A = this chain, B = another copy of it.
Amino acid sequence: MPLIRIDVIEGRTEEELKLLADAVHDAVVESFEVPARDRYQTITQHKPYEMYIEDTGLGFERTNNVVVIQVISKTRTAEQKKQLYQKIAGHLQSRCYIDPADVMVSITENTEADWSFGLGEAQFLNGKL
């Protein structure tokens, strides 16, 4: 159920984007313990001058590999969120060679009434999920 927005700078191949999206999705499945087909991702590719991602003074060196991931999800525990951050950074590093310093994640929570996955139904409310 999380809806995931992935923002990157253009330059990756279609295959590389798929690998990146797969890596993020696997991290979501592992951390939030959702079904494998609980996958809702959009990717937006930007020109370098359309993304300004700095570091709040933390000392990260961002590159053109930078990935910004926005997660819209039902309520999750802090433990699940910390797991998510680790898994995303880990998978993107091992599978896409993206430096963990280039990975930013922001989560926004909503509730069960806030989702319709299709057919005009609220599946968390009508018992289908």
Please give the residue numbers on chain A whose beta carbons come within 8 Å of chain B beta carbons, in ascending order. Answer: 1, 3, 7, 14, 17-18, 21, 25, 34-35, 37-47, 49-58, 60, 68, 70, 72, 78, 81-82, 85-90, 100-110, 113-123, 125, 128-129
Whether A42 touches B37, Cβ cut-off 8 Å, given contacts A60-B117, A72-B106, is: no
CA distance A113 to B75 in the complex (A): 11
List the B side residues contacting A128 at CB < 8 Å: 58
Task: Give chain B residues whose Cβ lies under 8 Å from the Cβ of A34.
Answer: 56
- Would B52 and A37 count as touching, CB distance under 8 A? no
Nearest chain B residue, comparing its CB with the CB of A112 = B78
Q: Mind listing 18 A-B residue pairs with CB under 8 Å?
A: A7-B42, A14-B47, A37-B55, A39-B53, A42-B44, A55-B117, A60-B119, A72-B106, A72-B108, A82-B122, A85-B116, A86-B121, A88-B116, A89-B116, A89-B120, A100-B119, A104-B118, A106-B116
**Copies of this chain in the oligomer:** 3
Cβ distance A33 to chain B, nearest Cβ, rounded Å = 13
Specify which of B49, B87, B115 is in contact with A14 (CB 8 Å cutoff): B49
Nearest chain B residue, comparing its CB with the CB of A7: B42
